[in-house]
Structure 1
Amino acid sequence: MIGTRKPKINFDGLKELFWAAHKAFLKNHKALLEGKLSERCWCGALMYELNKQLEMNGYNNYYADVEFNKLGKKEKCIKLLPDNEGTLKRIFTDIIVHSRGQARPDNLIALEMKKSRAKKLSRENDRERLMQLTKQDVFINNRYIYRYKLGIYYEIDLKNEEILVEFYQDGSKVEEKVSKF
């Protein structure tokens, strides 16, 4: 059933949506964690639960996508972010929630997922990407870019059976929680 209530397109409303998807992910897909499958597989399952929550909560015209790397409908308009030297680099965010250019605001959630045993530099790069993606004043080619309302760093620790969740807003980490599974 499609939700008919008006969604809360703000930081707190999006966190609520995420937590509902996270709980459903743990309930419905725990076997994927226990099976020690790939991060990509987990992203697909979490994306599925995010899409269900979007539909149930009235986020019409919004979608969760895995590794979506284009801006709008332009075939060659690849998503880019500047590195530390200012050089634009192609980005592949693990999961994004957006309208695919059909609604405003377009970009709601950017989520990066990692296994806790991933290299420290890789984990730090994901966190830095979330800071960049959630900034509200980033310009490339004289236009605002990305402006995600919520960034989520999602680190799965199989050994301790827990998930570290960090929330990012306006270019900064604002909260973190650990969830057991």
Structure 2
Amino acid sequence: MQVRFTQNQLTELFKASASKLFQKDVNSILDGVSEPMLCSRMAIYMENLFPDYKIEGNYYADTEFNRKQNGKVKTIIDDQMQVIRIKCDLLLHSRGEEVPDNLITVEMKKSSRPAFHKAADRKRLRAMTKKQDVYSTDGTTHPEHVCGYIIGIYMEIDKSKRTCLFEKYKGGDMIESWSLTF
């Protein structure tokens, strides 16, 4: 199968979307608006950038999306093989309409949030970016649990220091980190 989207292409799309967020919404960030509001703004910027990054087809930047094919609740399998319901902060996906379906998953946290919330987001990103545990032989049947996102991004915003920490996940592992000052 030909690769439609590269890791680099999706990373650059994410970085451009985050850059727009920190340019256009810095006052909202400093005022302490909610993570869902910030993710909603970033989703708008991301979709507007699709043409620049050659994202073609039926792809969507959705916030707080918790459904998969046929209206079922999205679930993942954690490292103890427990089924966990998920609702990610931001997803770039096709809602089951395209192959590949799952491109980017984003979890955002404020630095003031408890450590166990941050750890849960990182665990979710590892699970969502791991390789699919169930493969279809027909090429159209989706796995029972959500996984196989090309990249996952963890964002931690520290408004007092005016910085954002980013961690990039691929294949179930954190592979890169960087920070941005706003």
Q: Note if contact 1:64-1:98 (Cα within 8 Å) is conserved in structure 2.
A: yes
Letter of the structure 1 residue corresponding to residue 76 of structure 2:
L
**2:122 counterpart of 1:127:** yes
Post-superposition CA distance 1:61-117 (Å, at most 9, x none): 211000111112x12x11112345433121111000001111110100000000011
**2:58 counterpart of 1:57:** no
Post-superposition CA distance 1:25-67 (Å, at most 9, x none): 1111112112111111111111111111124433122110001
Q: Which runs of 4+ in 1 moved over 2 A?
A: 55-58, 82-87, 137-140, 142-146
Structure 2 residue aligned with 1:86, among 72, 81, 95?
81
**SS of the residue aligned with 1:111?**
strand
Structure 2 regions of 5+ residues with no counterpart? 136-141
Post-superposition CA distance 1:118-152 (Å, at most 9, x none): 11011001001000000113349x93742000000
The aligned counterpart of 2:108 is 113
Q: Note if contact 2:132-2:143 (Cα within 8 Å) is conserved in structure 1.
A: no
Residue 174 of structure 1: how far off its partner (Å): 0.3
Count residues in correspondence: 173
Structure 1 regions of 5+ residues with no counterpart? 1-6
The aligned counterpart of 2:138 is none
Q: After superposing the two structures, state which structure 1 stretch, 86-95 or 112-121, moved more.
A: 86-95
Structure 2 residue aligned with 1:22, among 12, 18, 28?
18
Percentage of identical aligned residues: 31
Q: Note if contact 1:54-1:63 (Cα within 8 Å) is conserved in structure 2.
A: no
**2:19 counterpart of 1:33:** no
Q: What RMSD over aligned residues (CA atoms) do the two structures have, in Å?
A: 2.1
Classify 1:86/1:176 alpha carbon distance in 2 versus 1 (closer, same or farther; 3 Å).
same
Classify 1:8/1:178 alpha carbon distance in 2 versus 1 (closer, same or farther; 3 Å).
farther
Report matched runs for 1:93-112 at 5 Å. 93-112=88-107
